[in-house]
Each structure stands twice: as structure tokens, then as C-alpha cells.
């Protein structure tokens, strides 16, 4: 079986983005479909400024995308990015992954 090509730098960025409980809650809500930022604010009982920070981290990691509709912003999961993280976490490491993880070369 051919192993998928994994961009380890991007994967690390995405895993860091997933390392926060609030961001995991946001992803769980977005699994249900596109959400307006106002709905996310209400569902998470979070200030919009705090939520905007977390959404920016997820967006910068390529895990979510946004769409403007007037003054509102709607967020959606990037299914391919989420699938790449899942593939990384569930696949057998390749020799290139092991080389990247070694401390002594």
C-alpha cells in the first residue's frame, strides 16, 4: 500500500491548532455544517473577540474557511485538511517521518 504524502510542517501547524479545547469545540460545531460567527458565539458562550482569535488560528492552519455575508462571517470545515490530519494520526509512520523525529540525525 502506498503511503500518502504528508506535509509534516503543515501537519504540525494543524495539530497545534487542535491543541485547545475551545478550538476543538468549534470544530465539533462545524462538523454539523456551516455556522455563522454569531451562532458560534452563542453556542460557546464566548466573547466574539476571543472566538475570533480561535477562528483565526483554525483558519491559518487551513482547517476552516470563511465566507462573508453582509456584516456576518460564516465558517466551514475544510474537509480535506481534517482528513489529512486523521490520515496522519491513523497511518503507519514512513521512514521519512522517523528521520524527521530523530534527535541525533
Indicate whether this model's pTM tops 0.85.
no
User: Domain boundaries in the chain?
Assistant: 8-88
Helices (H), 4-105: 8-17, 21-30, 37-44, 48-60, 79-90, 95-101
What pLDDT, in 10s, does the model give residues 72-95? 999 999 999 999 999 888 886 665
CATH ID of 8-88, from 2.60.120.200, 1.10.10.10, 3.40.50.720, 3.40.50.300: 1.10.10.10
Mean per-residue pLDDT, 62-80 = 95
How much is the pLDDT for 7?
80
C-alpha to C-alpha distance for 57 and 36, rounded to whole angstroms: 17
With contact defined as beta carbons under 8 Å apart, do 58 and 13 qualify? no
Higher pLDDT, 7 or 2: 7
pLDDT band at 96 (very low <50, low <70, confident <90, very high): low
Amino acid at each position: 500500500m502506498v503511503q500518502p504524502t504528508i506535509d509534516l510542517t503543515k501537519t504540525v501547524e494543524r495539530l497545534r491548532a487542535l491543541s485547545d479545547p475551545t478550538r476543538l469545540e468549534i470544530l465539533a460545531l462545524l462538523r454539523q455544517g456551516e455556522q455563522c460567527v454569531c451562532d458560534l458565539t452563542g453556542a460557546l458562550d464566548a466573547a466574539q473577540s476571543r472566538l475570533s482569535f480561535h477562528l483565526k488560528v483554525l483558519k491559518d492552519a487551513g482547517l476552516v474557511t470563511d465566507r462573508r455575508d453582509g456584516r456576518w462571517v460564516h465558517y466551514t470545515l475544510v474537509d480535506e485538511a481534517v482528513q489529512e490530519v486523521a490520515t496522519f494520526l491513523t497511518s503507519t509512520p514512513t521512514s521519512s517521518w522517523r528521520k524527521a523525529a530523530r534527535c541525533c540525525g
